[in-house]
Amino acid sequence: MIEVEHLTKEYGDFRAIDDISFTVEKGEILGFLGPNGAGKTTVMRILTCFFPPTRGKAMVAGYNCFEDSLNVRKRIGYLPERVPLYEDMEVADYLRFVAAIKGTPAKEVQRKAARVMDDCGLGEVAHKPIKAISRGYRQRVGIAQALVNDPEVLILDEPTVGLDPKQIKEIRKLIKDLAGRHTVILSTHILPEVSILCGRVIIINKGKLVAVDKPENLRAEGSRRTYLRISGEARRVEEELARLEGVSGLTREQAADDTQAFILAFTDEKRGRQAINSMIERNHWDLIEMRPIEASLEDIFIKLVTREEA
């Protein structure tokens, strides 16, 4: 649905994004993750045809964002980062305007606007001027205007930034409900958000692509490590463990008296676990604790980003 190839954008001499390539399949929710200034907004502005890339190519639904921009723009809904709306218009009036300008036939404008207000829970504020509604409602109006013509692709730039926790929850639910019906790209600098919302995540930093994967795989990359605590004689436990097949990267940890603690990585998880179990049985030791160490996305993010900088 979306193909991005070798995308580069320069503002004067400053390279905001550098040779970024990725694809997004139909129905997917892709998370765009990166610290502030990473270039997320820049990529989104190219995808929405706000400006062309300096080099490279972006395709949406088979159309080139630069050469065939009108066809691309017909198929996307966009929520810009600052949620710029016409402050002096009433919510319902504004959504009717957007529906019409996106090519909805005049007869259906009213119905589409009403439906999207329903979907986004805007009934209460329908006749309030936009300048008078809360931040959470603004965000919903922003999402509603992106959704109003039922676009194939939704591009949401930091949809939960600046909201309070309750509003964040509501907006996330709203986005989650969109999955399947639309292809969604959303950017965020909040890590847990991608594991909640996205099927796949792209990490960018300083304009460069750092990683593309499923959130759980990214996490797994750092989580094949296991914490193990055994009661037994220290020297022998270490010797036997080091000899086991499927176990590597053994490091000793501090532990209470009589117990030995290690952090290890499995090269082959199933065989490694079996080997540990039979070793314990053979020696009549006690297994006190064995648990995988969940690396948080934060850890992975920091690892990836610092690896890039190193």
Partner 1 sequence: MNPRNIGLILTRELKSYFSSLTVYLVIVMFLLMTGYFFYNLLATFSVVSVQAQADPMLARQYQLLNINETVIRPLFGSISIILLLMTPLLTMRLFAEEKKTGTIELLLTFPVNDVDVVLGKYLACVVVILAMILLTATYPVIIVVLGTPELMPILTGYLGLALLGAAAAALGVFTSSTTENQIVSASISYGLLFFFWLISYSVPLVSAGLGQVLAYLSINEHITSLSKGVVDSEDLIYYLCLVALFLFLTLRSLETNRWR
63 binds partner 1 (CB under 8 A): no
36 binds ligand ADP (CB under 6 A): yes
11 binds ligand ADP (CB under 6 A): yes
The C-alpha angle 271, 274, 278, rounded to 5 degrees, equals 140
Q: Which of residues 79-118 bind partner 1 (CB under 8 A)?
A: 80, 82, 84-89, 93, 97-98, 100-103
Helices (H) and strands (E) in the chain, counts: 11, 14
- 3-state SS track over 64-83: ECCCCHHHHHHCEEEECCCC
Nearest approach, Cβ of residue 100 and partner 1 (Å): 5
Residue type for position 306? T
78 binds partner 1 (CB under 8 A): yes
**Does residue 290 contact residue 226 with C-beta atoms inside 8 Å?**
yes
34 binds ligand ADP (CB under 6 A): yes
Residue type for position 205? N
Task: Tell me whether residue 121 or residue 162 sits nearer to Mg ion (CB atom).
Answer: 162
The site partner of 42 among Mg ion, partner 1, ligand ADP, none (C-beta below 5 to 8 Å per kind) is ligand ADP
Rg of the chain on CA atoms, in Å:
25
Determine the size of the site formed for ligand ADP (CB under 6 A): 11
**Does residue 275 contact residue 220 with C-beta atoms inside 8 Å?**
no
74 binds partner 1 (CB under 8 A): yes
DSSP state of 150: -
Helix (H, G, I), strand (E, B) or coil at 262: strand
42 binds ligand ADP (CB under 6 A): yes
Task: Tell me whether residue 184 or residue 228 sits nearer to partner 1 (CB atom).
Answer: 184
73 binds partner 1 (CB under 8 A): yes
227 binds partner 1 (CB under 8 A): no
Task: Tell me whether residue 37 or residue 123 sits nearer to ligand ADP (CB atom).
Answer: 37
Q: Which stretch binds ligand ADP (CB under 6 A): 35-43, 53-61, 144-152, 214-222?
A: 35-43
Contacts of 203 (CB under 8 A, 6+ apart): 33, 34, 209, 210, 211, 212, 218, 301, 304, 305
Q: Which of residues 16-45 bind Mg ion (CB under 5 A)?
A: 40-41
DSSP state of 5: E
Place of tokens 């797994």: 220
**Does residue 198 contact residue 215 with C-beta atoms inside 8 Å?**
yes
145 binds ligand ADP (CB under 6 A): no
Kindly list the residues in this chain that would bind partner 1 in the complex (CB under 8 A). Answer: 11, 45, 48-52, 70, 73-74, 76, 78, 80, 82, 84-89, 93, 97-98, 100-103, 145
Kindly list the residues in this chain that would bind ligand ADP in the complex (CB under 6 A). Answer: 11, 14, 16, 34, 36-42
